[in-house]
Structure 1
Amino acid sequence: MGMTSRERIMAVLRGKEPDRIPWSPLVGRYYVNSLEEQGIKLEDIAPREMAKTPALKRDVNLYEVEVVRHIGADIMYRHVNSYKLHYKNCKLINETRNGVRYEGFETPVGKIYSEHKKSGGTEFISKHLLENKKDIEVLTYVFRNAVVEPDYQDFYEFDEHIGDDGIATLTGPLTPIQLMLQFYVGVANTTYFLMDYKDEMENLFSEIHNLNRDIYRVMAESPAEVIITYEDTSTTVLSPAWYEQYCKKELDEYADIIHDYNKIFITHMCGKLSLLTDTLAEGKMDGIDSVCPPTTGDLEPGDALEETGKIIIGGLEPAALVRMNVEETREYTLEKLKQVGTGRNFILSTGDSTAYGTPLENLKAITRVIKEYGQFPLNL
């Protein structure tokens, strides 16, 4: 008798042998929202009344789970929250005026806020939270006065709904520099700030890191077994030197906290990684998620396994799956599977979120390939 999807995924993540290679595409709301354009009604995949709990009723959470179940893949559900943050002596800004969403903080040492606009259905940051040296001081105050509180309810709800068909994973906070690059400052100004205000920025990083450690302790004490931090690491925005200086030690500390509770720590790194593999091999994370081959990424799954020695999740370029037909998808999947040897320490997935408009039949074709050829150990 074969393993359940939950047993299969956890076997790989625990360094054991699965019955076959897990196939766990990253399905998010952008992909789910594109299915109607393909003539696929979400109600036909899962009736809305199937959502029995608040977490499943929120946004398109139900369909992010049920699309993966529908294509016959192993569910590895992402972005489950497990904590609340409370900011002492701070007033949170979260309001929308004239189509612009504002987020930020009012504090005794100043006020900071970001602006978010929409274009073509996509929201983007039109003004970052930090724009000058004074803003750095304000955000430092915010993090110094933040406290974390456990909140595991969403995990319990997703875990029960998924059952033996997979796992739910918690989302861990980013390293401080990645928080700046992705959300609070942007690539250009992060670079300038670290040149012009290095002491102030590193002091801010220290406060964020202290809070992050508290958050990871809360996650480690949760009922979840797997925690993923969505670093989005890529040498297109972060040099190997910066990774060494501002990410490696921090990620290792988070891994130590998670490992103290016998939990699994995965880093989501969906960009170009070929210049980082030696450093990643030294890291304490258990695995690397959303490893993407060319041209979006630059690391093939077989090379990632060999050069890092980590569990590798990924292997399929999302942009390629959009363009291909079913037969091309089948051949492409087999090509990637041939690279990974026996398939030990490997979970087949999309190298980041499944792209908007990807034909659903392509995802089903990958399921058929895995069921036909994916028995462990692979022999292709």
Structure 2
Amino acid sequence: MNARERLLCVLRGEIPDEVPVSPFVQEEYLSYYFDKKDTSRLYDAVQLAKELGFDLITRQYINAIPYFLQRSEENWQVSVKEAREGDNYVRRTRIVTPERTMEQVEAAPYNENILTGIHFSTVEYLIKDEEDFAAFKKNCPKHSKEDEEYIIQQGEIARKEVGDLGITCPWSIGGVYNLVSTYMNVQDMLCDALADEEYYEEYMNFFTDMVAEEHEIYAKSAFDAVGIQGNIANGAIMGADYFDEYVLPYERRALDVLIKAGKPTIYHNCGNAKVLYPEYKKLGITVWETVAEAPQGDSILAEAKEYFGEDLILSGNFDQVHFLKEATPEQVEERAYKQMMTGKKNGHYIFACSDYLEVGTPLENVKALLKGARAAAKYE
């Protein structure tokens, strides 16, 4: 099997010739590896897969900035300014409507080596109160025909570029909870669900419709799968009962669009998740990434394999924060081999780290990771 056939086989719930070895790569490592600022999660990731020899799952942002912040329309004037301010890189987004002027401020430590893929932290949220949301809901534009055509076009481009090196799996506009928490304080969201349920239901339903609308486009695209960000509603801030009542119905409604279309999904939570295992079965997702042990998460691969069985495909579990960067190549190779032996049992597994490869990861360790995993990947 080639890499594409191998990954598609796993997504169908079948057992391939060997377990796919697919490290999660994005701008940080691509900039570090290729020694350039402006990198692409498609073109540079394809080149990296060719050079290192792994099964590629592209993790593109087709729209790093959501469609409704890309342009101005009547009653919806958008301006975005990005600049270095001291030691930070700051993005200020302003939306002016007839009723309200809203501003979001995001910042990240300035890194002269990375231009794309900056991970911003929100300093000031766009939607601060019910009046802001009312103005947002009233005036927020819908997807245009051009938005749809762009996603469809990018799917065709990605499919051609990746070829047999792997599969294409871009991030959608977001999991519902993740999307809302981008523009509203998650602490307020946690409280609203209990103290102001009517308001919570209103904004969660609004954003669910937005996500489902975009999923309709991805469902008919050439992309092989769709990435869903679910790391905010994690096991460190909520239990299964809370997730079941206040998160699951919205996430499931948006996911159902892709499920009914037969489009596989890769759901991302790289943190605490163990308490949410029953909920992940209910979501209907194809793959859960990433199984992360302490201190990044609280999941153990062998236990997760036993719990999910054939209900879910698992991805991840190799510590890329400390071990991959600090251990010797020999130690990395040995641990990768052992992890693969655990993960490949009965299939339904994609070998990966617990999150994306980081800046400063020695190349010899990445090669040792791939070597150790490949040595144990084959099915008899």
Q: Deviations over 1:105-132 (max 9, x none)?
A: 2112211111123424264322121223
Structure 1 CA distance for aligned equivalents of residues 268 and 170 of structure 2: 12
Give identity over the alignment, percent.
Answer: 18
Aligned ranges 1:301-320 → 2 under 5 Å = 301-308=301-308, 309-319=311-321, 320=323
Aligned with 1:89 (options 71, 75, 79):
75
Once superposed, what is the RMSD of the aligned Cα atoms? 2.6
**CA 1:104/1:68 → structure 2, altered by over 3 Å: closer, same or farther?**
farther
Which residue matches 2:292?
292
State the shift of 1:266 in Å. Answer: 2.2
Give the secondary structure class of the aligned counterpart of 1:209: helix
How many pairs align?
Answer: 356
Give the alignment partner of residue 77 of structure 1, picking from 52, 58, 67. 58
For residue 128 of structure 1, what is the amino acid of its counterpart?
Y
Q: Identify the residue that residue 136 of structure 1 maps to in structure 2.
A: 133
Task: In structure 1, give the amino acid aligned to 2:213.
Answer: D
Tell me the alpha carbon deviations over residues 230-264 of structure 1, each in whole angstroms, 9 at most, x when there is no partner: 11142123433332123322332233321322221
User: In 2 relative to 1, CA 23–134 (structure 1 residues): closer, same or farther, beyond 3 Å?
Assistant: same
Alpha carbons 1:251, 1:284 under 8 Å: kept: no
Residue 352 of structure 1 corresponds to: 355
Aligned to 1:20: 18
Q: Which moved more, 1:197-206 or 1:72-81?
A: 197-206
Q: What is the letter of the counterpart of residue 364 of structure 1?
A: K
State which drifts further: 146-155 or 84-93. 84-93
Q: Helix, strand or coil: the match of 1:147? A: coil
Structure 2: tracts of 5 or more residues without a match: 112-117
TM-score by length of structure 2 reads 0.85
SS of corresponding position for 2:107: strand
Letter in 2 for 1:240: A
**Following TM superposition, by how much is the alpha carbon of 1:58 offset from its aligned partner in structure 2, in angstroms?**
6.3
Does the CA contact (< 8 Å) of 1:287 and 1:313 recur in 2? yes
Give, in angstroms, the shift of residue 196 of structure 1: 5.3
In structure 2, relative to structure 1, the CA distance for the partners of 1:171 and 1:96 (3 Å cut) is: closer
| CA deviation vs aligned residue, 1:308-347 (integer Å, no higher than 9, x gap) | 3301111212213122221111122122223235250100
Q: Which residue of 2 aligns with 1:237?
A: 237
**What stretches of structure 1 of length at least 5 have no aligned partner?**
36-40, 49-56
Larger strand fraction of residues: 1
Q: Which letter does structure 2 place at the counterpart of 1:94?
A: V
Segment drifting more, 245-254 vs 8-17: 245-254
Contact 2:219 2:258 in 1 (8 A): yes
**SS of match in other structure, 1:267:** strand
Q: 1:356 to 1:241 in 2, by over 3 A?
A: farther
Decide whether aligned partners of structure 1 residues 274 and 97 sit closer, same or farther in structure 2, where only a CA change above 3 A counts.
closer
1:116 aligns with 2:106: yes
CA offset at residue 98 of structure 1? 6.7
Deviation of the 1:61 alpha carbon:
4.7
Could you report, residue by residue, the CA deviation over 1:198-223 in whole angstroms, capped at 9, with x for unpaired residues?
42232111111112111111110111
Q: TM-score, normalised by structure 1?
A: 0.85
Contact 1:115 / 1:128 at 8 angstroms: preserved in 2?
yes
| Mapped contact 2:193–2:246 kept (Cα < 8 A) | no
Q: Tell whether the 8 Å contact from 2:61 to 2:172 is kept in structure 1 after alignment.
A: no
Q: Which amino acid aligns with 2:59?
A: R
Which residue matches 2:49? 68
Partner of 1:53 in structure 2? none
1:101 paired residue number: 91
Q: In the alignment, is the contact (CA less than 8 A) between 1:136 and 1:201 conserved in 2?
A: no
> Are the counterparts in 2 of residues 136 and 200 from structure 1 also a CA contact under 8 Å?
no
**CA deviation digits over 1:181-209, x for unaligned, max 9?**
3x212333333444554422321111111
